[in-house]
A and B are shown apart, each in its own frame.
Chain A
Amino acid sequence: MFLPRHSMRISVFVFFSFVWCGIWLKQLVRIWQDENKYYVFALNSGLNRLRSYSAAYDDSTRDYYPILKYCDRVLPSGEPLQIILPIAPQNKLEFLRDKGRYYLYPRNYGENTLRQKYILVYQQPDFRAPAGYARIKDFGPDKYLLTCDKEFLLRKKGKS
């Protein structure tokens, strides 16, 4: 027989082994039924698309990672960026703040109360730009990049 020794001890272990296998197979099938669309998406996606997916808190924040990436690309090297985010709900604020920190380090530590030369306003319609700051890029009605860096503004004007 396939078992080393038929005894009560073994029988209990074998019984639970079969139960275990049954539960595992059921869970495996369920996972693949629930997540197969995601895996197709993941296999057909590059790193940036996967990061866009994981940096989105909900459908309205699907553009968060591309915006962060744009800021990281255009801002002068090592220049800090302050991010102004929606205050409520708290979970969303924490998620976006920490994702911003994760993707933008060392431009952003997660400490967004200090005023910086560059400010990214994201989904915060009530934000009033401080004096001396100008918009340099609009991503949407409540999503834009501000700066008070005159050299940067002049360079941008020169290019346009």
Chain B
Amino acid sequence: MIIFFGVLTAVFIPILIGWLSLSPFFLKRRMFFWEKVFVSYGLGFGILTLVMFYLSLLEIDFSPAVIVGGSLLVPMVILFFRSWLFPAKANGPSEYKPVASMYTWIEGLLVTFIIIAAGNMVFRTWTMAAEAWDSWAFWGFKAKIFFVEQKVPFAKFADFRNVWGNWDYPQHVPLMGTWIFTWLNTWNDQCSRIIYPLFHCGLAAGVYAFLRRRISRVLSLAAAFFILTLPGLVWTAVGTISEPVLLFYYVLSFVFLLEWEQKEGQGWFILSAIFAGFAVWTKNEGMVYALFNGLVILLTAKQKGFRQIIFDLIVYFLIIGAIIGPWLAQKNILGLENVLINRDILSRVGSVMDMAKRCRVGIDNIAYRIQLISYFNVTGMMFLFVSLINFSKCLRRPYFYFIVNVLCQMVLILVLTVVIPGDMFLYDASPRLLLTAAVIMLIYCAYISGTSAPDSPS
């Protein structure tokens, strides 16, 4: 029971740090309660792990007091510079006013399903002994090392690298585990598993809130339910693999960008950049996802003016750079390279004919995977039919951004299929990369089905 309360407080502290950091964004009154909680959770954990990383660079040992103290500096600095960083007008109108109304029976049923799905996922994750390879061999093991060493032991990276790979991965996910161990003052790998389903629930809550500000409650609930029960994503959450964390940061950074695009709220824009930075801090794929967000900003040039967009792009990538820059510099100093994508592999990419053949393999792979009911349920078919029936609408703003995003995801998978030799990527990594596209497809399907009035043409 003591350990249970220990875990609860270990999770509550990042929420508190995130909540305090979020307040200057003026978004709180325009966010749903659970959205605020989960956005704070992700934001707080991001701040916490960055502080742990900086403490390691300064050779300061981890302790709960030092980590929490360091993390609390962030909201304090934001509050101090609040009026300069976030002038009141920068956050756009407060357009959302929740109206309390009775739930219809179908909404009640969906809420019940959501509670069952979330409860089932949390229970299974917590009771499952460490099974998935990535979970314990990469993330769990690194979390243990950082806990034992009481810091990220950069000096030992060369020793580790000689024995096993993936030391170039960003340290956000293992450091979250280390935080739980440090707070509990014991290595309990079962307790740290709770992090992952909470990120998955946070993703569903964030998507619900985004859609609820635009479409009916029943369709928003349905979309949240789909995301919460997307089989592949549930598998990664229960197996404590990093995908729910990556998707939480990336998908929310994408929808925050759409909030900014539609409502001019600078707070959304900054929050989107921070979350895109945390996506890069979670996994290397996040770098490409940040570029996709950059493309969305570019696509708004017609509305906002080219000069303004260039300025926005610079600000966006400066924020991302401030988050991930120190780790990239450290990675460069330590000479860490990815095992799948590195200079050696890139120099061995074959001829145009070889690439075309691999491209064909990649397209077949995507077409086959996306219709796997055991991994994606009916996402692929739903996307296809909804797009066909809304053909005239889907190329207009804001749906157009979703289509562009899905296409970008497909191109990314195709490029990786061409570049990475062998079939390991096809069978292991590509289904997980497709999960990002699947989540975007689900949001799009609910959004376009729930809105009747077309927006401005693109």
Neighbouring B residues of A98 by C-beta, 8 Å? 137, 141, 164
Q: Is B386 in the interface zone, CB < 8 Å from A?
A: yes
Q: Is B315 in the interface zone, CB < 8 Å from A?
A: no
8 tightest Cβ-Cβ pairs between the two chains A and B = A54-B129, A13-B449, A42-B127, A4-B216, A16-B382, A50-B129, A2-B106, A110-B163
CA distance A36 to B222 in the complex (A): 28
Neighbouring A residues of B215 by C-beta, 8 Å? 4
Q: Chain B: residues with CB nearer than 8 A to chain A?
A: 104-107, 113, 116-117, 120, 123-124, 127-131, 136-137, 140-141, 144-145, 148-149, 159-160, 162-164, 188, 190, 215-216, 218-219, 222, 226, 229, 231, 373-374, 377-378, 381-382, 385-386, 389-390, 445-446, 448-450, 452
Interface residues as binary, A63-103 with B (CB distance below 8 Å gives 1, 0 otherwise)? 00000000000000000000000000000000000110110
Which residue of the partner chain B has the closest CB to A16?
B382
Query: Quick check: B449 and A53 within 8 Å, CB to CB?
Result: no
* Cβ-neighbour of B130 out of A7, A19, A54 (below 8 A): A54
Which residue of the partner chain B has the closest CB to A3?
B218
Query: Quick check: A51 and B162 within 8 Å, CB to CB?
Result: no
Query: Quick check: A105 and B128 within 8 Å, CB to CB?
Result: no
Q: A7-B452, A9-B448, A13-B219 are in contact. Are A106 and B381 (CB under 8 A)?
A: no
Query: Quick check: B216 and A12 within 8 Å, CB to CB?
Result: no
Q: A9-B449, A13-B449, A21-B113 are in contact. Are A4 and B219 (CB under 8 A)?
A: yes
- Total chain A interface residues with beta-carbon distance under 8 A: 39
B440 to chain A, nearest CB (A): 16
Neighbouring B residues of A4 by C-beta, 8 Å? 215-216, 218-219, 450
Which of A2, A19, A24, A28 has most chain B Cβ within 10 Å? A24
- Secondary structure dominating the interface of B: helix
Q: Add 8 more A-B contacts to A20-B229, A110-B164 (CB < 8 A).
A: A2-B107, A12-B389, A13-B386, A19-B378, A20-B382, A50-B190, A98-B141, A101-B164
CA distance A35 to B159 in the complex (A): 40
CA distance A106 to B445 in the complex (A): 50
A24 to chain B, nearest CB (A): 5
Neighbouring A residues of B374 by C-beta, 8 Å? 27
Q: Is A133 in the interface zone, CB < 8 Å from B?
A: no
A6 to chain B, nearest CB (A): 11
